């Protein structure tokens, strides 16, 4: 049996029913519903041939060519699905909910599967999730200068049961010219948004949601506008620690990387640091004077962060000094501060 459903219902069902994406591999790699299995009706070359036939000879010619390609591969589609799932139900989609999903739905239906097709296809899914990012949320942004250890505190907050979105983890980038060091390749912007929504969709929006303060762009990916606006309008807890702690933290995090890579990253800051400061930093790097390198670079990053703070749309900024605290202690202290000084969930602004 083949049925059709809207994106909201489709995504709820995907928690228990496998999702099959029948678009071409190149489309799937650009962005897909997290967890979806790709069983393409056409491979990339075949998709291009059908598209060319449509442009040059029209709709009917494209359909006939598509049938010539797809019909001999029917048993392959079924074998691939059997390898991917042992359930009797599947969720299925193509780009716009058109002929590709209809064709594959018929094949799988006749082979014994119960098929639920996403109305409007992947395009409707994308429209749906982007709209959902505008949902009211109680955002708490964890900010502060580079090297304070915000990511580790977020991890500790998550262990203590708080709702945390690690944007840098999702982006596979730490947001600076050194941000790609030690990270896997970044996802496409489209996939970044899809993965982010998979976290966003299961949050309790009556309770605080913790994020690290970020620029609109994290490496090569861009935050969805609604999420970025949430961050600009949310409560900002600005962490403060001694400079020596920050320097030590950054040395531990980056000094083990190849010096050529580090020097290349420093050179990218030349326009902002100035030629003399850049040369000083690279010379210090060559001589293993890592503390000097960090202090020079922090001059720029601290100024940049001060500028970003000044651009916030509200002034809900709460400075909190956590000097001398262990990560777990700092996280617990912030929870108490949120409750007693700012006002826990019920008093936080809804955005």
The whole-number average pLDDT for the span 302-315 is 79
CA distances for 51 relative to 22, 47, 77, 152, angstroms: 16, 6, 21, 49
pLDDT at 310 over 80: no
pLDDT at 53 over 90: no
Q: What percent of the chain has pLDDT over 90?
A: 81
Residues contacting residue 120 through CB under 8 Å, at least 6 positions apart: 7, 96, 97, 127
Residues contacting residue 336 through CB under 8 Å, at least 6 positions apart: none
pLDDT of residue 23: 97
Could you confirm whether domain 136-347 is CATH 3.30.43.10?
no
pLDDT at 213 over 60: yes
CA angle at residue 228 from 262 to 327, to 5 degrees? Answer: 60
pTM score of the predicted model: 0.92
pLDDT at 313 over 70: no
- pLDDT tens-digit series, residues 148-190: 999 999 999 999 999 999 999 999 999 899 999 999 999 999 9
Domain residue ranges in the chain: 2-130, 136-347
CB atoms < 10 A from the CB of 108, how many? 21
The whole-number average pLDDT for the span 26-42 is 97
Cα 175 to Cα 304: distance, rounded to the nearest angstrom: 13
pLDDT range class, residue 323, cuts 50, 70, 90: very high
CB atoms < 10 A from the CB of 80, how many? 15
The whole-number average pLDDT for the span 37-42 is 97
The whole-number average pLDDT for the span 98-105 is 94
pLDDT at 277 over 70: yes
pLDDT at 344 over 70: no
Please state, rounded to an integer, the average pLDDT across all residues of the chain.
Answer: 93
CB atoms < 10 A from the CB of 241, how many? 19
- pLDDT tens-digit series, residues 72-91: 999 999 999 999 998 999 99
The whole-number average pLDDT for the span 278-296 is 96
Helix (H, G, I), strand (E, B) or coil at 93: strand
Say which CATH architecture domain 2-130 belongs to. Answer: 3-Layer(aba) Sandwich (3.40)
Q: What percent of the chain has pLDDT over 70?
A: 97
H-type alpha helices, 111-188: 121-132, 150-159, 167-171
pLDDT at 58 over 90: no
Burial of 295 (0-12, 13-18, 19+ CB in 10 A): middle
Identify whether the C-beta of residue 39 lies closer than 8 Å to the C-beta of residue 84: yes
Identify whether the C-beta of residue 210 lies closer than 8 Å to the C-beta of residue 154: yes
Per the DSSP assignment, residues forming a β-bridge with 2 are 115
């Amino acid at each position: 049996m083949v049925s059709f459903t809207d994106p909201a219902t489709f995504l709820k069902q995907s928690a228990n029913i496998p999702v099959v994406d029948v678009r071409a591999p190149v489309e799937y790699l650009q962005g897909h519903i997290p967890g979806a299995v790709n069983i393409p009706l056409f491979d990339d070359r075949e998709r291009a041939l059908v598209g060319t036939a449509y442009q040059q000879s029209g709709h009917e010619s494209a359909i006939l060519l598509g049938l010539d390609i797809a019909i001999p591969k029917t048993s392959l589609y079924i074998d691939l699905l059997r390898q991917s799932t042992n359930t009797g139900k599947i969720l299925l989609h193509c780009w716009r909910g058109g002929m590709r999903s209809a064709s594959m739905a018929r094949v799988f239906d006749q082979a014994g599967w119960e098929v639920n097709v996403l109305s409007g296809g992947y395009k409707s899914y994308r429209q749906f999730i982007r709209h959902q990012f505008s949902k009211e949320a109680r955002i708490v942004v964890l900010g502060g200068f580079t090297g304070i250890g915000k990511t580790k505190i977020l991890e500790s907050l998550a262990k203590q049961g708080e709702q945390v979105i690690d944007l840098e983890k999702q982006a596979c980038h730490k947001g600076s010219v050194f941000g790609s060091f030690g990270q896997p390749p970044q996802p496409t912007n489209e996939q970044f948004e899809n993965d982010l929504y998979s976290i966003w969709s299961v949050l309790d929006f009556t309770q605080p949601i913790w994020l690290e303060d970020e620029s609109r762009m994290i490496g090569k990916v861009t935050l969805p506008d609604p999420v970025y606006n949430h961050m600009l309008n949310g409560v900002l807890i600005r962490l403060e620690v001694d400079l020596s702690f920050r320097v030590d933290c950054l040395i531990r995090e980056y000094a083990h990387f190849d010096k050529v890579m580090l020097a290349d990253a420093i050179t990218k800051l030349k326009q902002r640091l100035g030629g003399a400061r850049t040369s000083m930093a690279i010379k210090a790097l060559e001589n293993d004077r890592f503390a000097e390198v960090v202090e020079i670079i922090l001059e720029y990053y601290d100024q940049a962060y001060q500028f970003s703070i000044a651009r916030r749309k509200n002034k809900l900024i709460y400075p909190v000094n956590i000097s001398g605290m262990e990560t777990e202690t700092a996280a617990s202290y912030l929870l108490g501060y949120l409750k007693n000084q700012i006002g826990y969930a019920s008093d936080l602004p809804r955005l």
